[in-house]
Amino acid sequence: MPKRRRIIRKKIKEPDEFMSTSGLIIGYVKNNYRNIIPIALLVLIISFLTYGWIYYNREKEKEASHLFYQLKQFYQTSRYNQTNNQPVERSYYLAIGKFEDIIKKYSGTSSAIKALFYIGDCYYHSRDYDKAIDYYKQFINRSRKGDYLVCFAFEGLGYCYEEKEDYQQALEYFKKSMEESEIDIEELQYLNIARCYEALNDKANALQFYKRIIDNQGNSIFSELAQDKVRALKN
């Protein structure tokens, strides 16, 4: 029986504690409402602005992505539709202007960052290697982790430096491209690295990477080329 009485008292006491706490809160609000209202309004305004900013960025990203996809299609197809009187470089410069518009209008979006890569690619194909290098590096510095284009940006830098006959720099970027790669293009990467070693007159390393192509690819086109290179370097 004493144990039962204690349980009953505890059950009766709990509502009293709740009422007491509620009374304290209500009393505090009544006494400090002039201070609480501005804070509550500030919180409400911040929440509204935050939601508005998130919504604006989402719509901006969506619009930029749609336009970027169209320009990417233009970039990939326009160079195949040139007339005899229209040099191929013209399509690249047209694409550069359109990608730059995305960067200006949709700054901060993922599409604007990717546009940096494609501008670099356009400059590379237009043989303006210094500008290509600049845009490839801008893209790498601003790209998000895991972006598959980073691998190709390093590869593009390798090609640019190879064209400038800076084979040591080219070699470093081709190796970085191989480190970043998440797709199966090993044979091409080995070929790029071997070619740079060959240009640097480092026959031992050149042979090593040409042999990797042969070991990995069997009778592929890359393997046949590597076999020819191995025979030439051994002579």
Q: What's 34-53 look like in SS3?
A: HHHHHHHHHHHHHHHHHHHH
- pLDDT, one tens digit per residue, over 25-60 is 666 656 665 666 666 666 666 665 565 555 445 666
Q: Does position 9 have pLDDT exceeding 50, yes or no?
A: no
Cα separation of 149 and 147, whole Å? Answer: 5
Residue 204 or 62, more confident: 204
Task: Give mean pLDDT, residues 114-124.
Answer: 94
Lowest-pLDDT range of 76-85, 100-109, 130-139, 172-181: 76-85
Closest CA to 114 of 63, 155, 150: 150
Q: Percent of the chain at pLDDT above 90? A: 35
What would the CATH number be for the domain defined by 2-183?
1.25.40.10
Query: 21-25, 183-187, 221-225: which has the highest mean pLDDT?
Result: 221-225
Tokens of 113: 């960052």
Helices 149-163 and 167-180, packing angle to 10 deg: 170
111: DSSP letter: H
Closest CA to 198 of 207, 190, 189: 207
Cα separation of 178 and 162, whole Å? Answer: 16
pTM given for the model: 0.71
| DSSP reduced 3-state for 184 | coil
Lowest-pLDDT range of 19-23, 129-133, 217-221: 19-23
Task: Give mean pLDDT, residues 158-177.
Answer: 97
Q: Give residue limits of the domains in the chain.
A: 2-183
Cα separation of 40 and 31, whole Å? Answer: 15
Q: Does position 171 have pLDDT exceeding 90, yes or no?
A: yes
